[in-house]
Structure 1
């Protein structure tokens, strides 16, 4: 076999590899969606469609196709099409960011990916970021001049950690000012905030960020001292399911459990407390599409309790635990390996629909209380 034939054979093998990799990405995104619409559809038809698309791209794309970029894009797209918070991280990027999670410095925010955008779920009320206008719902556009749109969630979370005293530049869209802002922040050792009691339109609201024993005791006291208790979990993405199930058990007044499901097995996380809320007053649970993790399962556990009303927006439907795996190539994937239930995959629909800003939540609660009082009065008259 001559040199030319050997080169041609290598090229054919390379093209087959590229096609194979792209097929993986295609199957996990486009084909996956199509299968949901029609489970009986012949998958080989999908392969044929993809082969035509691939052929057109190679032959007609106006600029030279970078095959490495194409392959990496296929990996990334395949992983993230299943769950936007999944990540594919190249070995070069991992080498640059792997130590960041060991640093104590951060800027006090937690994010998720929404439509490839990095969106803030939690912002520490004591942080410089919060004071600068980075609040739940804020879109992070750039981190140190790098487009967050092109970064995996794993990379973004790594970049949000750094050595105490170092600086980081964040470009974000301010909803308050309706414009893009670029600002430098210093990495600081912020202590996590478990809860905060805010006064909104003369109503006291218990903002729950983390399910901890200290938070539990303070929540009980808050409920006792307020006629219209509002537990706000709109911006919580905590992962302490062991403590969360005790919160839910107390409020519901019965033993509860959470199911932790992996590919291989299911485990039950049971409540361990005996205390019970008496249920003599209506309790409101404020939710939003940024209600994630243990808070989302919390809302699902309490759904249907007569004296507990969810108010606000549909929850995220996301309660996963992620794990990082190293590939033989030296690259990495960070994927969801555990799901917690009960969970409404499309997001739990609240009992009382409302826009999720503070004022709207309070107004919705007051309208409900007014109607509740009126209905109780009518019942007494009828009796």
Structure 2
């Protein structure tokens, strides 16, 4: 089946045309409400203290309509739509953060590794209460994105409120070109590889294929790999399906279900020309979202990998970007996706096979940062049913060490789990 271009996080999109199945049948009640809207519009235009622009009034009304649905549906003006398209290429001027809206404020889901925001100390769960002194209360995501973005070398001040702060703190960050490399790899030890996916962009699968072939050429041959999806905010559905397919030779990957039969899609794995038959461990946490959850769910349900970490973000909804004639667009939640075992993880997330609670830590842990989850967002839909590795040295990351030990004792571990 031809892959339809679906939008999974506000960072990434493909274009789709409006399907007749998406259009609703307008009832008499709807017409009654439209009469009220028309009446209000007429009163405002005739009586407001200043002469209002019709476009701003209409755009504002559309924003309100989409904002009443769920946290991921929104209206994009022509300028905002253009800004959004820039990011699908994985290169733009900014500070490098994934943001969402919580309690009416712009909040950080995750900083992108090795970016100005990451280096400045911005943390998951941080609440951005001001951008260059401008309050973000009830600000749209795209307006916040536009304010944060800018030319390389220019500065932006983010006023942050963080759990544990006694008062807000200003972070002055110098913008840079954010060129996101979505695939990073290392050899942890002879025979054991590490692959980190930071997002799902247009070139993620092809970059992954090259990286895997390069690692597989080494001596000794690969005995197992760790796939790190922690703090991966998602991206393109097509890439999530292709990445899953890269590690699967058969079975279902994901299905997408909307209100109508026409919106149903199912994606299955194909036999690979270059199979990767070695064991896999997948690392996840609360910042693993959307398309990244599809990969984790597909590998878990097909018993292809052992999932280790913390329950994931829980964004199981599908957003379709629908361009409009005036250059604007709707970003509309049109469906929910389901794992191969027909699990809807909306507001639930993927529960790892081995959670951190199951792992005994010999040293005291610091209080973990507060991560936003899908279930924390207002109007979230309910379900229908930083690490560095030096070559030749032990990884300092605790979970990677756990994953490595699991790979080394794979047969014993999988007999217990499956």
Normalization by structure 1: what TM-score?
0.61
Is residue 288 of structure 2 the alignment partner of residue 314 of structure 1?
no
Deviations 1:140-197 (A, max 9, x none): 3322223334222232233333344443222235689997442333443322211234
Is residue 199 of structure 2 the alignment partner of residue 206 of structure 1?
no
Provide the residue aligned with 1:158 in structure 2. Answer: 146
1:331 to 1:146, Cα distance in 2 relative to 1, 3 A: farther
Deviation of 1:301 after TM superposition, in Å, equals: 0.9
Contact 1:124-1:193 within 8 A present in 2 as well: no
Provide the residue aligned with 1:190 in structure 2. Answer: 178
1: distance between equivalents of 2:164 and 2:409? Answer: 33
- Which structure has more relative contact order (CA 8 Å, sep 6+)? It is 2
1:267 to 1:305, Cα distance in 2 relative to 1, 3 A: closer
1:242 to 1:100, Cα distance in 2 relative to 1, 3 A: closer
| Structure 2: unaligned runs, 5 residues or longer | 1-31, 41-58, 87-91, 358-367, 369-385, 388-396
Taking only aligned residues, the RMSD between alpha carbons, in angstroms, comes to 4.7
Provide the residue aligned with 1:218 in structure 2. Answer: 211
Provide the residue aligned with 1:167 in structure 2. Answer: 155
1:147 to 1:273, Cα distance in 2 relative to 1, 3 A: farther
Higher-Rg structure is 1
Is residue 255 of structure 2 the alignment partner of residue 248 of structure 1?
no
Deviation of 1:227 after TM superposition, in Å, equals: 5.0
The structure richer in helix per residue is 1
Q: Secondary structure at the match of 2:176?
A: coil
Normalization by structure 2: what TM-score?
0.57
Provide the residue aligned with 1:266 in structure 2. Answer: 264
Residue 334 of structure 2, aligned match among 305, 330, 337: 337
Pairs within 5 Å for 1:1-383: 17=36, 79-80=66-67, 82-87=69-74, 94=77, 100-101=83-84, 104-173=92-161, 180-197=168-185, 205-209=194-198, 210=200, 211-219=204-212, 221-222=214-215, 227=223, 229-254=225-250, 256-261=252-257, 263=259, 264-271=262-269, 274-275=272-273, 277=275, 279-281=277-279, 283-306=280-303, 308-318=305-315, 319-323=317-321, 334-342=331-339, 343-345=344-346, 346-354=348-356, 359-362=397-400, 364-365=402-403
1:369 to 1:266, Cα distance in 2 relative to 1, 3 A: closer
